[in-house]
Amino acid sequence: MRLSPTHAAVRRVWTVELSPQPGGPVLACSRCPRRPYPVAAGSARTAALAHLARHVREDAVPEHVRTCECQARGCPWHPRHRGCSGSVLLVLARDRGGRRWRLADACAACAAATDQAAVVPATLLTAPPACCSRSRMSRAPGPGERARVREMLTYLAAALPRFSSAAARLLALQCALRADCGGRVRLPGGLLRGMRLAGYAAPWHELVHAGWLRCSFSGVQGAHGGVAAQLLDVGVLAQSPARGDRAQAAHWALHPAPLGATREAPPALQLTALVLATHTAGQSGSAEADLLTRLCGLSLAQVEDLLDRLLHATVLAGWHRAAEAGELRWQLPGNGLETE
């Protein structure tokens, strides 16, 4: 297949800005001829992401012509680092207090160095909605769950408000992984009881106020204590992996082996253990401190506190901060024998 010559100059940066106006927020896009248009106050963030997602789908290009847009501009989006490396990713970043959102192709090194940025899994935005077709060939069950949960946590770290509680993040993760192609999801009472969130309205209200979903929770839950919701985040609606695969990932996230021994723990501890589990291979793991704090929605001091608690609960055998690498590293108990 011959490439069109315009591919060489393809620009894969899209920016939208929300500005408060007396009549409600207005969305302006740097790439659209369309004039700024009003969006509903409660779902302004979702409207912004939806707009960006549409551009990515419309402007799809072959993988090999994608380059680091950050480097192309002289790396203005982050402090200096050792240079571009890694694969080209779709990176969502926000600034101006969450009013401006930028989606761009950037290399893994630039993505990691950019503040307030998250990698958007290609499966979330670039694929057309897979609808609930049963594509059983998608992949074999196995270590994919951990990767899928890590992708979704990364996406949610950018899509949800920064101050979202751990309970809301855990709930959003379950909703995103269990939703059908129309964004409908129903969490049964047994599941919510297992998450120790049964009868607990606050995290639902958080997600409603963030414009991330609409739900039936009214304090009095439906039959058997389940809650039905409609997701409003189009980034999540367009997931291409088959629903069965996502459901397996959702299940793994409830018992994230090998760090699954925290069912009775408060949500912040559960979320931290889950984030660690997605960055653990064998008996040890590591992740950049910045990344961990972003994924957990907590300060570094809070994360370190929770690592201590996991240590006391013997979920971890040890942890330390590798200051030079900017990383947190941990080890699991045991003699190195896999128990999976």
Binding site for Zn ion (CB under 5 A): 29, 31-32, 68, 70-71, 75, 84, 107, 110
CB of residue 78 vs Zn ion: minimum separation in angstroms?
6
With respect to Zn ion, which residue has the nearer C-beta, 68 or 159?
Answer: 68
Residues 196-211 as b/e (b if ≥16 CB within 10 A, e otherwise) read: ebbeeeebbebbbebb
Closest CA to 269 of 216, 308, 233, 301: 308
Crossing angle (nearest 10°) for helices 289-296 and 267-278: 140
Q: Which is nearer to Zn ion, 48 or 149 (CB)?
A: 48
Using the minimum distance from each CB to Zn ion, give the nearer residue, 94 or 178: 94
* Cβ-based nearer residue to Zn ion, 89 or 310: 89
How far apart are CB 101 and Zn ion at their closest, in Å?
Answer: 11
Please return the burial class of 316, using the count of CB atoms within 10 Å of its CB with bins 0-12, 13-18 and 19+: buried
Strand (E) positions, the chain? 13-19, 26-29, 37-38, 88-95, 100-107, 117-120, 184-187, 213-215, 227-231, 280-281, 284-288, 318-322, 327-331
The smaller minimum CB distance to Zn ion, of residues 54 and 321, is found at 54
**CA atoms within 13 A of residue 50's CA, in its CB half-sphere:** 14
Q: How far is the CB of 99 from Zn ion (least distance, A)?
A: 16
User: Of the two residues 115 and 308, which places its CB atom closer to Zn ion in the complex?
Assistant: 115
Report the distance separating Cα 286 and Cα 267, nearest Å.
Answer: 21
Question: Could you give the 3-state DSSP secondary structure of residue 189?
Answer: helix
CB of 44 to Zn ion, least distance (A): 15
- 3 state DSSP class of 210: coil
Which residue lies nearer to Zn ion by CB, 31 or 251?
A: 31
CB of residue 25 to Zn ion, shortest distance in Å: 16
Q: How far is the CB of 86 from Zn ion (least distance, A)?
A: 8
CA 152/CA 156 separation, integer angstroms: 6
Judge contact between 316 and 307, C-beta under 8 A: yes
Rounded to a whole number of angstroms, the minimum distance from the CB of residue 180 to Zn ion is 28
